[in-house]
């Protein structure tokens, strides 16, 4: 845990606080570095008072400096930093930018982003890092770390931008309202989930016992969620999950795809289920060859064919819209997917 204050224009350090495993450090920067280090193991307080003639940045903030540099392929630079170490006299050291190359970062949420991959080496620790910096926005997408500790070899770490600011929706999801629709009524939805295999006869396959069936309130947010994912599919982006708390799940309870939702309020709902099914099909295969002769003269080969029966599995998604008009009502639905198999 820590807090660093630096000049917004120059990134020069003003003050800093670090709460580390071994101790806490308070520093202020100016013509001299002043502060105090408190050991958590011994309680010893060590004053800090050091003067340096060359300018430097705080070690904890050098990633901000790195992102502000005029990065380009083949770029090289040295970033002087100050890092306090209780075991030895602290001094400015260097962060060496060893290489900058072109790369593409792939986000599951927002797709491809052209980035600079910046390889750095920390002189005072021998640690190495790779930074992926967005070319357009200078956003830091990912950091890959290789850290070295005395007598313990190398350890590896990865920091990834989770894109918590990502917001593709105009409508707001109301979790509390969804939970109320799921639990504050006396209505029921029951039915059977199946896949109908076409064009085969008797082609119905029921959802397996224990398979999940999903219930979602049909709200403006749900409609927008569907539209957003349809657009993402066209853009070859991964689908976005529905917000937590907005889906009620029931399991198929028998061998005929039976399911049931209870305690529902009146309203419009959407039912979905992914159904895995088994089916058989016939296939013509070559079974052998034989030589053909006429009057002891070889005429060529005859190819023999046969028909074999094979088994396979497939997946289908069933969807249905259900409306409960009044409290206490029981709505029955056939949740059926129609799919082609041969």
DSSP string spanning 82-151? EE--TTS--EEEEEEEEEEEEEEEEETTTEEEEEEEEEEEETTT--EEEEEEETTT--EEEEEEEEEETT
170, part of any domain = no
What residues contact residue 271 under an 8 Å CB cut-off, 6+ apart?
Answer: 189, 191, 213, 214, 215, 318, 319, 320, 321, 322, 333, 335
pLDDT of residue 126: 86
Q: How confident is the model at residue 81 (pLDDT cuts 50, 70, 90)?
A: very high
| pLDDT over 60 at 285, yes or no | yes
In three-state secondary structure terms, 43 is: coil
Instruction: Of 60-74, 191-205, 244-258, give the lowest mean pLDDT range.
Output: 191-205
**What is the C-alpha separation between 194 and 205, in angstroms, rounded?**
6
Q: How confident is the model at residue 74 (pLDDT cuts 50, 70, 90)?
A: very high
Same domain, 140 and 193: no
Name, of 49-53, 190-194, 301-305, the range with top average pLDDT.
190-194
Same domain, 190 and 235: yes
What residues contact residue 30 under an 8 Å CB cut-off, 6+ apart?
Answer: none
- Domain range for residue 279? 175-340
Name, of 46-55, 149-158, 273-282, the range with top average pLDDT.
46-55
165, part of any domain = no
Same domain, 16 and 67: yes
Total number of domains in the chain: 2
Q: How confident is the model at residue 94 (pLDDT cuts 50, 70, 90)?
A: very high
Q: Which residues pair with 49 in a beta bridge?
A: 34
Q: Which residues pair with 34 in a beta bridge?
A: 28, 49
Instruction: Of 4-13, 56-65, 88-97, 279-288, give the lowest mean pLDDT range.
Output: 279-288
pLDDT of residue 39: 87
Same domain, 72 and 212: no
What residues contact residue 121 under an 8 Å CB cut-off, 6+ apart?
Answer: 95, 96, 98, 127, 128
166, part of any domain = no
- Among the candidates 160, 190, 213, a domain finishes at 160
Indicate the helix (H) or strand (E) that contains 220.
helix 220-234
Which pTM was predicted? Answer: 0.70
CATH assignment of the domain containing 302: 2.60.40.10
| pLDDT over 90 at 89, yes or no | no
CA distances from 333 to 103, 258, 336 (A): 51, 10, 9
pLDDT tens by residue, 132-169: 999 999 999 999 999 887 666 788 899 999 999 999 99
Same domain, 180 and 154: no
């Amino acid at each position: 845990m820590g807090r660093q204050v630096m000049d917004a224009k120059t990134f020069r350090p003003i003050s800093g606080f670090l709460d580390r495993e071994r101790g806490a450090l308070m520093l202020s920067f100016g013509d001299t570095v002043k502060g105090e280090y408190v050991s958590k193991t011994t309680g010893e307080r060590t004053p800090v008072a050091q003067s340096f003639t060359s300018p430097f940045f705080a070690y904890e903030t050098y990633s901000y400096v790195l992102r502000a540099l005029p990065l380009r392929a083949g770029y090289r630079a040295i970033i002087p930093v100050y890092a306090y170490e209780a075991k030895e006299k602290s001094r400015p050291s260097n962060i060496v930018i060893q290489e900058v190359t072109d790369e593409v970062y792939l986000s599951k949420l927002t797709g491809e982003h052209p980035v600079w991959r910046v390889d750095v080496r920390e002189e005072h620790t021998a640690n190495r890092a790779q930074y992926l910096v967005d070319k357009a926005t200078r956003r830091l997408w990912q950091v890959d770390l290789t850290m070295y500790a005395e007598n313990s070899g190398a350890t590896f770490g990865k920091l990834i931008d989770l894109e918590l600011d990502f917001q593709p929706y105009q409508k707001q999801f109301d979790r509390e309202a969804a939970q109320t629709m799921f639990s504050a009524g006396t209505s029921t939805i029951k039915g059977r989930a199946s896949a109908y295999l076409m064009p085969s006869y008797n082609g119905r396959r029921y959802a397996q016992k224990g398979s999940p069936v999903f219930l979602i309130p049909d709200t403006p947010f749900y409609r927008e969620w569907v539209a957003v994912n349809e657009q993402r599919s066209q853009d070859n982006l991964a689908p976005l999950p529905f917000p937590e708390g907005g889906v009620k799940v029931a399991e198929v309870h028998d061998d005929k795809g039976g399911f049931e939702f209870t305690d529902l309020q009146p309203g419009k709902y959407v039912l979905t289920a992914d159904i895995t099914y088994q089916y058989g099909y016939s296939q013509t295969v070559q079974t052998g060859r034989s030589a053909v002769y006429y009057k002891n003269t070889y005429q060529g080969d005859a190819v023999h064919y046969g028909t074999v029966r094979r088994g396979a599995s497939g997946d289908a998604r069933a969807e249905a819209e259900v409306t409960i008009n009044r409290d206490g009502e029981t709505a029955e639905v056939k949740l059926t997917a129609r799919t082609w198999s041969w």
